[in-house]
Amino acid sequence: MTTVLFDIGNTRLKWGVLTASGEVAGAGYRTHKECESDNYAAVLDTLPGDIDRVVAVNVAGRRVAADLSRAIDEKAGLDIDFATSRAEACGLSNGYDEPARLGVDRWAACVGAWTRYPQEALLVVDAGTATTLDAIDSSGHHLGGLILPGLTLMGRVLDTSTSGIGTDGAGADDPEPENLFGRNTDQAVRSGALAAICGAMERACRVLEGIDQLPRILLTGGDARRIQRQWHYTVENRPDLVLEGLAALAGAE
């Protein structure tokens, strides 16, 4: 049985194949614009010919989901099984008041983190279009999370919503970790966005340490490496964490 996994994010599509050992192999990604330009042909060409099942998490909306569903139907004659956030899965309990309202990508990332590091306190940071932080205690309880604009979105909002800043920071390089303060507006915007996310991470760690939950920090998402370079402490970058969690969810059904 060959299961293909899709992580349909706000900006890009990621995919991989679930192996017999429960790992994710052959992971790749394309932006939604790239996928639309060739009707998913480049994605479909990478997939095995003997697909039995397709499972996905989707936060990009109905149109993108429908376009991918049509492409998969034409290639393999299969419907996509879209995962949803639940009250409990794989030994992890969902901390939201309404579990179904937790973003399914966040839920999958948390499940992926917990199945890899059970009985550990965890802070799961997904740095994409939005940046999310989710806390898990060592008993397997998701404690809730934080949602911030992503690095690019922070700069874009400053550029479009102010009259005097006039830049999104894209003209500057990321600062060295020891050089926090920008010497021009591009640098200040870029440094400010990175500092905001790192500051949220530091605050989350302090709060968790205050309840005797020293967290292992897992980073994922398109901007994970940028944040990792600014972080002074131990952090693990797992680019395919959402797919790993989706693999665990698919195997549990």
Which of 105, 174, 186, 223 is flagged as catalytic? 105
Please write the tens of the pLDDT for every residue from 215-237.
999 999 999 999 999 998 899 99
| Single-letter residue type at 138 | S
3-state secondary structure 114-172: HHHCCCCCEEEEEECCEEEEEEECCCCEEEEEEEEECHHHHHHHHHHHCCCCCCCCCCC
User: 133 and 235: one domain?
Assistant: yes
Max avg pLDDT among 48-57, 70-79, 112-121: 112-121
Give the model's pLDDT for residue 125: 98
- Whether residue 54 is predicted with pLDDT greater than 90 in this model: the reply is yes
Amino acid in the structure at residue 224: A
Q: Is the pLDDT of residue 1 over 80?
A: no
Q: How much is the average pLDDT of 100-116?
A: 98
Q: Which residue range(s) make up the domain with 42?
A: 2-82
Helix (H, G, I), strand (E, B) or coil at 199: helix
pLDDT-derived band at 162 (thresholds 50, 70, 90) equals very high
Is 105 catalytic? The answer is yes
Determine, yes or no, domain membership for 249.
Answer: no
CATH code of 38's domain: 3.30.420.40
User: Whole-prediction pTM value?
Assistant: 0.94
pLDDT of 253 reads 67
| Same domain flag for 58 and 131 | no
- Residue 253 falls inside a structural domain: no
**Residue-level pLDDT at 49:** 85
pLDDT of residue 81 exceeding 80: yes
pLDDT band, very low/low/confident/very high, at 107 (cuts 50, 70, 90): very high
Residue 220, burial from CB neighbour count under 10 angstroms (0-12, 13-18, 19+): buried
